[in-house]
Amino acid sequence: MSELIIFSYGHERTIRYLQQLEFSHLQIILEFSDWVLKAGPEQRLRICTEDFIEVENLPRVLDFLLTRHKLLVIPHLEHQYLEKLQQLMKELEKVEEECENKTEKMDTLNKYRTKLYNLLKISYNSPPDVVLKDFPTNKMLEERALILGRLKKHEKVLAIYIQILGNVKRAAEYCETHYEEDQDICLILLKSILSPLNQPPYEGIGLHKEFCGSIE
């Protein structure tokens, strides 16, 4: 009877209902989330990444995904790394003047960023437009560029590499990778170098001094 009630809820109401259950009922939550995980990409990503999953239960959730929904493992891990990065960045802001602590946290932050970047490079199961919603616009720009590249937003990617990061080598590598599918990409690169933006594409960041346009 309870199974029929849950199925009659629909995806959105089922997610909200499962979120309200205590984690002593984790097995029930996993069992009845199964059909939601077979829904559309955005629903799948939400159900395995929502914040209601407590830290101590993450290994069980990961084990469930490995057993029943292997395609969701990488999106799930991506989300966990992203949350950890955001937490570390908030902590860094609080310890700006504590140099030793800041250095230690920067090392941890860089470790997680490397893991997240490598996951994003090999992940083609999570919808990039959905993942992008979680990213800040003034930090983790290389990760943002990687996701924008999967969306074929070449101008935005090259604007990040050239006009914000000043990394011509990375921009050239990106063009080499995507040249076969879009031969106009080299023209976009030239435009980014020769006719740079006057204003940053995102708030809260500055343009690289070697690649910023002249402001009238």
pLDDT digits (tens, 9 = 90+) for 18-47: 555 555 556 666 665 666 666 654 555 555
Question: pTM of the full predicted structure?
Answer: 0.61
Integer Cα distance of 193 and 66 in angstroms: 45
pLDDT of residue 145: 92
Q: Tell me which of 72, 87, 107 is where a domain ends.
A: 72
pLDDT of residue 201: 74
pLDDT of residue 168: 92
Flag residues of the chain having pLDDT under 50.
1-8, 41, 52, 55, 214-216
* 97 belongs to a structural domain: no
Q: Tell me which of 30, 48, 72 is where a domain ends.
A: 72
Integer Cα distance of 96 and 91 in angstroms: 9
pLDDT digits (tens, 9 = 90+) for 192-210: 888 877 777 777 787 887 7
* 21 belongs to a structural domain: yes
pLDDT of residue 216: 37
Answer for the pair 33, 49: CB distance below 8 angstroms, yes or no: no
Domain that holds residue 35: 1-72
* 178 belongs to a structural domain: yes
Q: Tell me which of 72, 92, 119 is where a domain ends.
A: 72
pLDDT of residue 213: 57
pLDDT of residue 6: 43
* 114 belongs to a structural domain: no
Nearest 5°: the CA angle 203, 164, 101 is 80
Integer Cα distance of 71 and 38 in angstroms: 11
Closest by CA to 17, choosing from 8, 172, 112, is 8
* 115 belongs to a structural domain: no
User: For the chain, what is the domain count?
Assistant: 2
* 120 belongs to a structural domain: no
